[in-house]
Structure 1
Amino acid sequence: MSDTTPDTTPLERLRAAIAEVHLPLELQDAPEARLRARRSLQQIDDYIAPRLENLDAPLLAVVGGSTGAGKSTLVNALVGHPVTRTGAIRPTTRQPILLHNPVDRDSFTGTRVLPELARITGVPVKEGTPSRQAGDAPDAKLISSVVLVGDDAVPEQLAILDAPDVDSIADENRALAEQLLQAADLWIFVTTANRYADAVPWKHLDAASQRDMTVAVVLNRVPEGAREVESDLRMMLDERGLGEAPIFVIPEAPLNELDMLPEEQVKPLREWLAEIANDRATRREVARRSVAGAVQQLARDTALVANARRSQIDAASDLATLVKAKHDDAAARVIDATKDGALLRAEVLARWQDYIGTSDVFRTLEAWFGRARDAVTSWVQGKPAPIREVEREIEHGLYSVIIDEAGRAAGESWQTLRHSQAAASLKADPSLGRESSGLDEKASRLIRDWQFSLMQMIRESASSKRVEARLLSLGLNAVTVALMVAVFASTGGLTGGEIAIAGGSAVVGQKLLETVFGDETVRRMAKKAREDLEWRIDELFEHEYARYAALIDPVLEGPDDSELSDAASELASEVTR
């Protein structure tokens, strides 16, 4: 979830949510969503936030268009003389120039708009200097800066920004051009009679229509007698919802000795801009329309990001469910092995029978108990029965099942990752295909800890001196092993007639326990012993799964799709009401 407080605005909440969106999985919709998320953050910082803060701030008119359309020439003509960036560097659409009236300087020197771009103060070229000179070359290091040039010819409350080509061969130029257009209050889009139908400019004009932008189109270099070009352009604008956009036609004519257009050719456009700049209500309406359109576009982009976020969450959740199921199934198989006598192999039962000395002919429980006590006594006196061997066999059997099933779960989980398109970008360590390196010690410790807990339970269950005496007579280890054998031979706890036997030995173990503690206490001990063992096994396999969870869970962190959608809706409602 995004880190917001009740004092944050809807825009701040939406920005925080978008900034926290995590789309690491290479799903089909992820690349476009990442692009939209970056663009949304940039749009908020460059334009929406500063414009919502002050609708009356000076407008920014961005001059955009295709390569060679004559954007810089048009900008120079609008102010009546060439402009430059710094020193000998002449106008180039690689480094944008922002022309403003000197009284509006403070509105553009700070980071109110386009905060990522550094500011450089430019100066006009000397009078009589051509706008372009041979040998000039753009400085690639200045791509992240904007040149501010103050000029009295620019009307107050409106700045003009010369952007890079929207179809530049340089990726960084195209990206900057789009960023600058997204930060504009209005567009002056420049095209030519030869290229007005090109696809790339219309992609941006379509975006302007979706945003309800104020747009003026300059049709440059129109040959004499080719007025049908303007008619065709007007029809195309109408079809795309830009029928209100004015078209300014500049006839094809040679430039003067300073590479400047004749002043009368740009006079209509200059007057249109001045009319907007000089009327506060008009400026405010231009700003309002533009920022409202930007918010609507932000909402559409956020919806796409939200859908991609849902895809990521679903894919990660499905992957986690599959891998978790592998480990849960493995834990269940280990638990099943402790219920059906699978751990009581022939060697275990044989050694257990050797220890308790059972036969088919003992007549009474007390008679058998005396024999068991004698067996223990002889063991203490130096004729040991194989109780430790029984204990070791049981331990080894449980240990082997745990290790085998953990390795199986890891191998199956690794294959799930390898065959998942969603997981391909997670860069999982191949070691995940095996049980964890410390599992052998963890499994051994699990068994030791469980045995210790059984001993503690047995001690705590010695509720009388008679029970203590019998416990002392038989020995704590012997009683503990008897409980383990009985638990492993049972399908559901030790209850007289419901026990499933792996041979008659489990009955003897049960009877021994009941003789020491009583039937009710034995049932309680068996139930608690099984629950304790199953909890420990489940916890061990949870730790094994945690290796995969550490890989998958980060995908689930951050805002979900509903948080993004709700924040976008809240912002749109606030701006449009």
Structure 2
Amino acid sequence: MTPQTSPDPEAAAGAEQSAQAVQLLESARTDLAGTVLPLELPGVEQARTELRQAIAQLDDYILPRYRSLDAPLLAVVGGSTGAGKSTLVNALVGHPVTRAGAIRPTTRQPILLHHPTDLPWFEGQRVLPGLSRISGVLTGATVPASKAGSAPDAAAMSSLVLLGDPAVPQGIAILDAPDVDSISDDNRQLAGQLLAAADLWIFVTTANRYADAVPWRLLLDAASRDITVAIVLDRVPPAAEAEVSEDLRNLLKQEGLGRAELFVVHEAVLDDMGMLPHQAGEPLRSWLRDLAADAAGRAGIARRTLNGAVKALAERLQVLAARASEQDAAAAALRKQAVDAHEEAVDRILDATKDGALLRGEVLARWQDFVGTGEFFRNLEQNIGRMRDRVGAFFRGEPTPAVRVETAIESGLQAVILDEARNAAEDTDRRWRADPAGRQLLGTDDLSGNSEGFPDRISAEIRAWQGDLMELIRTEGQGKRAKARWLSFGINGLGAALMIVVFSMTAGLTGLEIGVAGGTAVVGQKLLEAVFGEDAVRRLARTAREDLHRRCRTLLEAERQRFLNRLSSDTAGEADVLAGHASTLARLAARA
């Protein structure tokens, strides 16, 4: 009977921690993918680049490495234009596998060299999932380095050539990347993407370019991520080796890269195949072989680079959280401008409906037609009953004048709402165009006027308000006595009177502007009180005014929404979510 081995508690705990880390990272990746930075604020392009790079770092390196901690190390060979990267890669395997030459850029399609048995680790989408795979096996035939590989077209930039070669030590893959300072934007971006996916950097520079700014920016990034770096100082005249090497080592120490391995390749004449002398690449080859043979050492490099990448990602997320917070603040400011402008317009409309301004011109003329001549006003206080009979007879015989009052009120109120809505739109448009973010949201669209069909919507809303007002009068007059009274005056006549009362309020429900249009409001007030009583009139006027307020607000909110629709509604809370992930990943890196 075969004895059963007990599970390793330490290994089980490690697997559980890795699984939890993957869950945290996948959650962060989901929220990053859903992050939107829509407003054109200062520095937003850089923030969007940081966002894309954070997602790419998770996809290309952090998540694949956490899921496969025992996978081979990926050593990316990077450096400046003409530094000799491809020539060095050819030297590491002992024959031409990647194109080298004077025409720049030579490396446009990345080539990943691996031991044949390591192919399963790379033929899928485990790392660099955005690049398609082109698999190949090296044969014994060789061609000069100037003709090695292919001369790829533009589509080749999105593919990764996999070449199995027994000369590559098992456990380490070598990826020849484009120039970090290439004249091609696509090449530079791809180089940055590949370096971000590396467990190990082999950075190639030359004796006369080792202090260039572009490669040092990348090296400083490597130092901040605690990535293992091997520096190859290429084309060094033997006489200058000591001086140049010492100066480079001092620079590396000053920038936190004192642990970096430094390999010197002397200036040498290439053979007919475009190859360096065999001994030129031997120190680096030997270092890679020793590293491949040391499983614990490889695991240590992978974990250290992974931990540094997670720490750097946490810092990047903190910066993105700050940028998202700036977006929230800018969106809130734009939203407030639109809301304030239209709220002020609502207030101005309501002011115009209660200060007697509408009781002039056409409305006044139709109302006077309705109630009679000036003699009617003179006799008003002398005999309310006679006034009621006279007006009632007028109502019963000719209902048309009451409808004309409603129509005049509709027309006057519509003009006020149209004018104030246009003012609000002009104000919002002007404020937004004074702000780069608002200007970008508006683009070439002109929102400074009323929307299409807005006059018709106003008319419909006013008519609906008038209809509800009539229903209020019907409901209030349900008692037999009141019903007889409002029937004698006519529903339209009482409705017109109530509208006149609503439009003459200068101090809520307690004040009537008696002098407006020669006592216009008094007539309506007395009519309604004769039918319903004073308290009921106050209640009816309050309800009618509140309904009008609500409808005006609804109309202006719809106009305001044209602006607010330009603001993304999906960004709320993004800053807090990103800050939360930043804290979580920082703790994850600290535990590691």
TM-score (norm 2): 0.90
2:544 maps to what in 1? 529
Per the alignment, in what secondary structure is the counterpart of residue 377 of structure 2?
coil
Tell me how far 1:390 sits from its aligned partner.
Answer: 2.7
Gaps of 5+ in 1: 1-5, 86-90
Report the AA paired with residue 117 of structure 1. Answer: L
Distance 2:487 2:252 in 1: 100
Q: Which stretch shows the higher mean deviation, 431-440 or 253-262?
A: 253-262
Task: Tell me if structure 1 keeps the 8 A contact 2:205–2:232.
Answer: yes
Distance 2:556 2:167 in 1: 76
1:192 maps to what in 2? 206
Distance 2:466 2:498 in 1: 10
Distance 2:345 2:326 in 1: 29
After TM superposition, the structure 1 = structure 2 runs for residues 379-394 of structure 1, keeping only pairs within 5 Å, are: 379-381=395-397, 386-394=401-409
1:88 maps to what in 2? none
- Is residue 550 of structure 1 aligned with residue 543 of structure 2? no
Per the alignment, in what secondary structure is the counterpart of residue 432 of structure 1?
coil
Distance 1:274 1:64 in 2: 20
Among 434, 438, 445, the residue aligned to 2:460: 445
Report the AA paired with residue 500 of structure 1. Answer: E
After TM superposition, the structure 1 = structure 2 runs for residues 9-408 of structure 1, keeping only pairs within 5 Å, are: 9-83=23-97, 92-124=106-138, 126-127=140-141, 129-133=143-147, 137-226=151-240, 227-345=242-360, 348-349=363-364, 351-357=366-372, 358-362=376-380, 367-381=383-397, 386-408=401-423
After TM superposition, the structure 1 = structure 2 runs for residues 393-472 of structure 1, keeping only pairs within 5 Å, are: 393-428=408-443, 430-472=445-487
Task: Tell me if structure 2 keeps the 8 A contact 1:486–1:494.
Answer: no
Distance 1:569 1:232 in 2: 39
Per the alignment, in what secondary structure is the counterpart of residue 491 of structure 1?
strand
Report the AA paired with residue 466 of structure 2. Answer: Q
Tell me how far 1:84 sits from its aligned partner.
Answer: 5.0
Q: Which stretch shows the higher mean deviation, 248-257 or 433-442?
A: 248-257
Task: Tell me if structure 2 keeps the 8 A contact 1:83–1:123.
Answer: no
CA separation of 1:234 and 1:454: change in aligned 2, threshold 3 A: same
After TM superposition, the structure 1 = structure 2 runs for residues 486-505 of structure 1, keeping only pairs within 5 Å, are: 486-495=501-510, 498-501=511-514, 502=516, 503-505=518-520
After superposition, the C-alpha distances for 1:151-170 in whole angstroms (9 at most, x for unaligned) are: 11211111111111111111
TM-score (norm 1): 0.92
Q: Give % identity.
A: 51
Task: Tell me if structure 2 keeps the 8 A contact 1:211–1:296.
Answer: yes
Task: Tell me if structure 2 keeps the 8 A contact 1:96–1:147.
Answer: yes
Task: Tell me if structure 1 keeps the 8 A contact 2:328–2:572.
Answer: no
Per the alignment, in what secondary structure is the counterpart of residue 253 of structure 1?
coil
Distance 1:206 1:407 in 2: 56
CA separation of 1:136 and 1:151: change in aligned 2, threshold 3 A: closer
Distance 1:142 1:133 in 2: 17
Aligned length: 561
Tell me how far 1:338 sits from its aligned partner.
Answer: 0.9
Report the AA paired with residue 423 of structure 2. Answer: R
Q: Which stretch shows the higher mean deviation, 422-431 or 560-569?
A: 422-431
CA separation of 1:558 and 1:74: change in aligned 2, threshold 3 A: farther
Per the alignment, in what secondary structure is the counterpart of residue 143 of structure 2?
coil
CA separation of 1:437 and 1:429: change in aligned 2, threshold 3 A: farther
Tell me how far 1:409 sits from its aligned partner.
Answer: 1.4
Tell me how far 1:356 sits from its aligned partner.
Answer: 3.1
Task: Tell me if structure 2 keeps the 8 A contact 1:83–1:125.
Answer: no
Gaps of 5+ in 2: 1-19, 100-104
Tell me how far 1:378 sits from its aligned partner.
Answer: 4.1
Distance 1:8 1:208 in 2: 23
Query: What RMSD over aligned residues (CA atoms) do the two structures have, in Å?
Result: 2.3
CA separation of 1:381 and 1:223: change in aligned 2, threshold 3 A: closer
Per the alignment, in what secondary structure is the counterpart of residue 64 of structure 1?
strand
Per the alignment, in what secondary structure is the counterpart of residue 417 of structure 1?
helix
Tell me how far 1:431 sits from its aligned partner.
Answer: 3.8
Distance 1:135 1:271 in 2: 25
Tell me how far 1:13 sits from its aligned partner.
Answer: 1.9
CA separation of 1:75 and 1:362: change in aligned 2, threshold 3 A: closer
Per the alignment, in what secondary structure is the counterpart of residue 338 of structure 1?
helix
Distance 2:440 2:356 in 1: 44
Task: Tell me if structure 2 keeps the 8 A contact 1:65–1:165.
Answer: yes
After superposition, the C-alpha distances for 1:444-490 in whole angstroms (9 at most, x for unaligned) are: 11111111001111111113111000010000011101111111111
Task: Tell me if structure 2 keeps the 8 A contact 1:96–1:146.
Answer: yes
After superposition, the C-alpha distances for 1:52-87 in whole angstroms (9 at most, x for unaligned) are: 1122111100111111211112111112222259xx
